[in-house]
Amino acid sequence: MMASLSTEGLVAAAVLTPFVGALLIPLFRSSPNLRETVTLVTAGTLCLVTFSLLGPVLDGARPELQILRIVPGLDLAFKVEPLGMLFALVAASLWVVNSIYSIGYMRANDEPRQTTFYVCFAIALGSTIGIAFARNLFTLFLCYEALTLSTYPLVTHKRNEEAVRAGRLYLLLLIGTSLLLLLPAIIATWAIAGTLDFTPGGILAGKAGAPVIAVLLVLYVFGIGKAAVMPLHFWLPAAMVAPTPVSALLHAVAVVKAGVFTVVKVAVFVFGVDNLAALGQSAWLTAVAGTTVIVASIVALRQDNLKRRLAYSTVSQLSYVVLGVAILAPISLTGAAMHIAAHAFSKITLFFAAGSIYTAAHLSEVSQLDGIGRRMPWTMAAFTIGALGMIGIPPTAGFLGKWFILTGAMQTANWLAVSVIVASTLLNAGYFLPIVFRAFFRESPDDGHGHGPKSGEAPWPMVLALTATAAGSMFLFFFPGIPYALATLMMGR
């Protein structure tokens, strides 16, 4: 049946599937098993649909879907290009794994309001696919805001004072930056370029001088709050109050990647890389991204709460992508795109591990993790692979993205970028390896706690999920064909 669908139909199916799922899930609220089946079927369908788009895209097709023209300049339209394809593949395939994990986590921790949880999750994924496939800035902006709004109930899931406060910060920073900076930038782009359609080479190329471009770039980079460029990163650590599956898929993959994806997209298809390079925009962006990489790493060093440490690590890793853009060399942009995929697999593994430690042993602080590796070998092995990915050591995909970005930095003699990458690699090792060391080489404290060393791993769906993503991050190192092809095709060559 899939084969008979046109590619245009596939685009529509990809965007709509999660929303249909979101409508169906509440119908089965009285039967959790059926409800979770709906989630799994939706995620599976989405994954299938996205993968069936891959072939045509690699063959050079760019399936389009124009839905409606709202007013001149505001078109609701989708178009699948390689970079969006890559992002959608990552999000869709990890949603399947994450759904399995969610079922284990939500049930084992006896979380309330699970129907709302799964509904919001599906809407968030639908919005993510919308961002990935958006043909123009308006469609992207629409889905971007929908993603913020649909994840708000997930961040505030616990409904206690802390969660509500975190939700406030989350909403204010994300909606605030998007309304205050991103929207004016979009309006200005429309007024200057006369179009909002993403076009290879950039729609602003040759339309405005250096000062205007610089102002717009500032508006975009900081307006895309989801990219968590410092000092607008506070929402991300705050969002860690959400249940771990949310932190794992949304705040390590979908939401934050939507941010850096948008940055890459804007740089390549709105400004045009050559245009930015010609106007000398590389230096300050490198400085901003580099500062974020380093400062966030240093802050991560000092975090004892595991999820917060991971969150700051995410802030730092996201700016790698921005750094890849800032270098403005084609190879570094390829690296940036690769890093979106690589970091997704590694970071989701780390969060899965954190959630599984919390579920099985009720531990959340790094200092409590002595000897946990012996109790939860699968979890901590996966954690180790994820940590290697963060540092960028083979055989993990994290190595590839970093390698390409570094190559680009060398080519353009951007020594600031080179030193940032080297320094941050050391810092990454500094805040991840001690955890691994604690877990495997220290004795576990005998605290007489109910969960002694005997209680082992988390429920099997969780272990299955984290093993799968860890394996995925190694798989991508040995077989980087698909992401690499998409990342090189992205530049339109």
Partner 1 sequence: MNAVWPHLPAWQVVIPLLGAALVAFLRHSGAAFAVALAVSWLMPLIAGAMLWQVLATGPISYHLGSWPPPWGIEYRVDVLSGFVLVLVSAVGAVVMPFARRSVAFEVEDGQQAWFYCMYLLCLTGLLGIVITGDAFNAFVFLEVSSLSTYVLVALGRDRRALLAAFQYLILGTIGATFYIIGVGLLYLLTGSLNMVDIAARLGPEWADHSRAIVAALAFITVGVSLKLALFPLHAWLPNAYAYAPSWVTVFLSATATKVAIYLLVRYYFSIFGVAIEFRDLPETEIILVLSVAAMFVASLIAVFQTDLKRMLAYSSVAQIGYITLGIGLANQAGLTGGLVHIVNHALMKAALFLAVGAIFFRVRSVRLPDLAGIGRRMPVTMTAFTIGCLGLVGTPGTSGFISKWYLALGAFDKGWWVLVFLIVGSSLIALVYVGRVLEVVWLREPSAAIADASDPPLSMLLPLVVLAAATIYFGFDTGWTAGIADIAARDLLGGLR
Binding residues for partner 1, rule: CB under 8 A, are 68, 70-71, 73-74, 76, 138, 141-142, 145-146, 149, 153, 156, 159, 164, 167-168, 171-172, 175-176, 179-180, 183-184, 187-188, 190-191
What phi, psi does 69 have (nearest 5°)? -100, 120
Q: Assess contact for 457 and 463: CB atoms under 8 A.
A: yes
Angstrom distance (rounded) from CA 151 to CA 158 = 13
Q: Assess contact for 150 and 127: CB atoms under 8 A.
A: yes
Angstrom distance (rounded) from CA 250 to CA 101 = 13
What phi, psi does 73 have (nearest 5°)? 100, -25
- Of the pair 3, 68, the CB lying nearest partner 1 is at 68
Name the burial class of residue 298, with classes exposed (0-12), middle (13-18) and buried (19+) by CB atoms within 10 angstroms of its CB: middle
Distance in Å, CB of 142 to partner 1, minimum? 4
Distance in Å, CB of 472 to partner 1, minimum? 34
Q: With b meaning 16 or more CB within 10 Å and e meaning fewer, what string describes 59-90?
A: eeeebebeeeeeeebbbbbbbbbbbbbbbbbb
Distance in Å, CB of 164 to partner 1, minimum? 5
- Of the pair 219, 300, the CB lying nearest partner 1 is at 219
- Of the pair 117, 190, the CB lying nearest partner 1 is at 190
Distance in Å, CB of 141 to partner 1, minimum? 6
- Of the pair 198, 378, the CB lying nearest partner 1 is at 198
Name the burial class of residue 456, with classes exposed (0-12), middle (13-18) and buried (19+) by CB atoms within 10 angstroms of its CB: middle
Distance in Å, CB of 130 to partner 1, minimum? 11
* Selection from 241, 233, 250 nearest residue 297 by Cα: 233
- Of the pair 187, 210, the CB lying nearest partner 1 is at 187
Distance in Å, CB of 208 to partner 1, minimum? 13
Distance in Å, CB of 423 to partner 1, minimum? 36
- Of the pair 34, 164, the CB lying nearest partner 1 is at 164
Q: Cα–chain-centroid distance for residue 105?
A: 20
- Of the pair 156, 332, the CB lying nearest partner 1 is at 156
- Of the pair 152, 383, the CB lying nearest partner 1 is at 152
Q: Assess contact for 256 and 311: CB atoms under 8 A.
A: no
Distance in Å, CB of 271 to partner 1, minimum? 19
Could you tell me the sign of the dihedral formed by the alpha carbons of 357, 359, 363, 364, in that order?
positive
- Of the pair 73, 201, the CB lying nearest partner 1 is at 73
CA distances (Å), 31 to each of 17, 34, 155, in order? Answer: 21, 6, 24
Task: Please list, in sequence order, all residues whose beta carbon lies within 8 angstroms of the beta carbon of residue 187, skipping any fewer than 6 positions away.
Answer: none
Distance in Å, CB of 53 to partner 1, minimum? 25
Q: Classify residue 376 by its DSSP letter.
A: S
Distance in Å, CB of 167 to partner 1, minimum? 7
Angstrom distance (rounded) from CA 337 to CA 352 = 23
- Of the pair 61, 172, the CB lying nearest partner 1 is at 172
Angstrom distance (rounded) from CA 287 to CA 217 = 14
List residues bridging with 136 in a β-sheet. Answer: 197
